[in-house]
Amino acid sequence: MSVVSEETAYWKERYFTLLNEGEKRQTEQNEYENLLNRAVIRLTQAVSGLDAALDPHLRAIREVMRKGENSTLRRELDALLDTLIRTPKLGHPTATTGQGRELLRFLEALCATPEEKAASEAVCRRFEAGGYATEQELFDAAARVLRNRKGSSATGVIGKLFGKGQAATADIDTAKLRRRLDELLRALNLSASLQERLEQLKARVVDDTEDLIALFDAAAALIADMDAGYWQEQKQFGDFLAALSGKLGELEGKALRMDALNQSSAEDRRLTEKAVAGEVAGLRADASQATNLVQLRQIINMRLDIISQRLDSFDHAEEARFTEVQAQVQDLSGRLRTLEQEAEDLRNRLALANQAAYIDPLTKLPNRKAYLERVDLEEKRWRRFQQPLTLAVWDIDFFKKINDRFGHASGDKALAMIGQVLAASIRNTDFVARYGGEEFVMLLLGSDDSNALEIAEGIRQRIEDCEFIGNGKRIAVTVSCGISQFKGRDGFQDVFERADKALYQAKKKGRNRCEIMSPV
C-alpha cells in the first residue's frame, strides 16, 4: 500500500472516530438540555404563587421552555432576574404572601374616594417595601383603614362605595367583587370564637341574592373584630408575663434572703469554733501555770462558763435562723406551687389555642393548615421509604343547591355528616381534612391509585346511602372524588393538581363518581 493510501485511510478512520464522538456528545448534550428544561419547568411551578410580581415571568419561562424558543429564553431570564432584585427575599419575614395580596386587592376594591385610595396605596407601598414584619401587622393596618373610612351610617362602612341605593352598583362588576371577597375570607385564619361567623359569611357570599353592601359591611366588621380580638389576646398574654416577671422577682428576693441566712450561719459557726478553740487553748495555758487545786478549779470554771455562753449564743442564733429559713421555705414552696399551676394553666390554654388553629370547627376535622403540614411530612416519608402514597380530593355535588333549597344550616349539617363518614372510613395511619368550602382532602398511606379507587368507591357509596334529613325532608347527598398517586419526582402540589383535574373529570362525567389521573 502506498504512503498516500495509508495516510488517507488514517484520516478517514480519524474522521469517523471524531464523528462518532461528536454524535455521542450531542446526544448527551440533548439529554442534559431536556433534563434542565424539566427541572426549570418544575422549579417555576414550585415557586408559583409565592409572589405575584414573579408569576408572569415564571409562566413566560415555562412557555419558552416547552416550545423550545431558546432565542427568547435569555430575555425572559433577564426580566425575571430584574424582578427578583426588586423583590424581598422569599422566606424573609417581610416577604409578600398570597394572603396579604388578597387582602390588599380587597382593600383596594373598597376604597372609592381620593382620601381612601391614598390610605390604601400607602399600605400597599409599605407592603411592597417589606415594611410589615408579619401578616398580622398588615391586617392591623388594613383594619385601621377600614375603621377610618367615612361611610354613611345608613348604608354601613362601605356604603360610600356604592352610593345610597342599589342602582349605584350598575357599573360595578359585582361578580368580581364577590369572588375577591370570597378569596379574602378563605385566606383568613381566625380564632374559634369568630370561625362560625366566618363560615356563615362565606356561605352568604356565594348566595347571589344577598345584598353586596351588607356583605362588605359584615366583612369589615369581622376584620375589625379580628383585630380587636388579637390585641385583647396580646394584652392578656402581656399582663400574664408582667405578673410572672413580678413573681419571679419576689422568688429571687426570697432565695437571696435564704442564701444570706445560710452565709450568716456559716460565719457564726466559724467564729464560734474559733472562740471555743481560743478558750480551750487559754485553759491549757492557765492550767499549766496553776500552783494549787483551788486556783486550777477557778480557772477551769471561768473558761467553761465563757465557752458555755458562746455555745448558748450560737444555739439561739441558729434557732432563730432556722425558724426564719423554715418560714421562707414554706412561703417559697407555696409560691412555687402557685406559679407552677399558673404555668400549667397557660400551657393548657396555649395547647387549646394551637389545637383550635388546626381544627375545622364545623366538621371537627383537621383544616387546610393541618393538611399542608401533614402532606409535607408524608411526601418526605414517601421519598425516603418509597411506599405507595395516594391523594384523594372530595367535593360535595350540587352543594350550593342544598344551601339554596334547604338553608345554610342544612348545608352545615351535610358538611359535618360527610366529614364524619370520611373520618370513620379511613385507617388510623391515613389522614383526612377539610380543605375549604365543600372540599375535603385525604391521604391514603400504603395505597396505590387502584387500591385508593376501591377505598374511595366504598366511601362514595356509604355517603350516597346516608339518610340525611333537612327541614323535615330527605336530602340526597352525593360526592365526587379525584385520585392521584405520588410518582417519580412529584411534589404534593403536582399531585393535588392532578387529583383536582380528576375531580373535574368526575364532575364532567355526571358526578357521584371517582376518577384517577396519573402523571403524563
Active site residue ranges:
438
* 3-state SS class at 490: coil
Dihedral over alpha carbons 77, 79, 85, 91 (to 10 degrees): -60
State the angle between helix axes of 98-110 and 174-187 in degrees (0 to 180), rounded to the nearest 10: 140
Q: Which long-range contacts (C-beta less than 8 Å, at least 24 apart) are formed by 311-314?
A: 311/272, 311/276, 313/272, 314/268, 314/269, 314/272
Grid cell listed for 511: 358526578
Q: What is the DSSP string of 60-105?
A: HHHHHHHHT-HHHHHHHHHHHHHHHHHSPPTTSTT---HHHHHHHH
Give, in order, the Cα–Cα distances in Å from 343 to each of 317, 354, 432, 442.
38, 16, 33, 37
Q: Which of 364, 406, 420, 398 is nearest to 479 (CA)?
A: 398
H helix or E strand, kind and range, residue 428 = none
Cα 482 from Cα 517, distance rounded (Å): 8
- Which distant-in-sequence residues (6+ apart) come within 8 Å of 420 by Cβ? 363
The C-alpha cell 417519580 sits at 488
> CA-CA distance, 452 to 484, in Å (whole number)?
9
User: Cα separation of 345 and 350, whole Å?
Assistant: 9
Amino acid sitting at position 193: S
Question: Smallest Cα–Cα separation from 511: which of 472, 463, 474, 469?
Answer: 463
Cβ distance 481 to 514 under 8 Å? yes
CA distance 138 to 181: 17
| Number of other CB atoms surrounding residue 150 within 10 Å | 10
**Amino acid identity of 166?**
Q
Phi then psi for 373, rounded to 5 degrees?
-70, -40
Please choose, from the candidates 104, 94, 177, the residue with its C-alpha nearest in 3D space to the C-alpha of residue 132: 94
CB of 478 closer than 8 Å to CB of 464 = yes
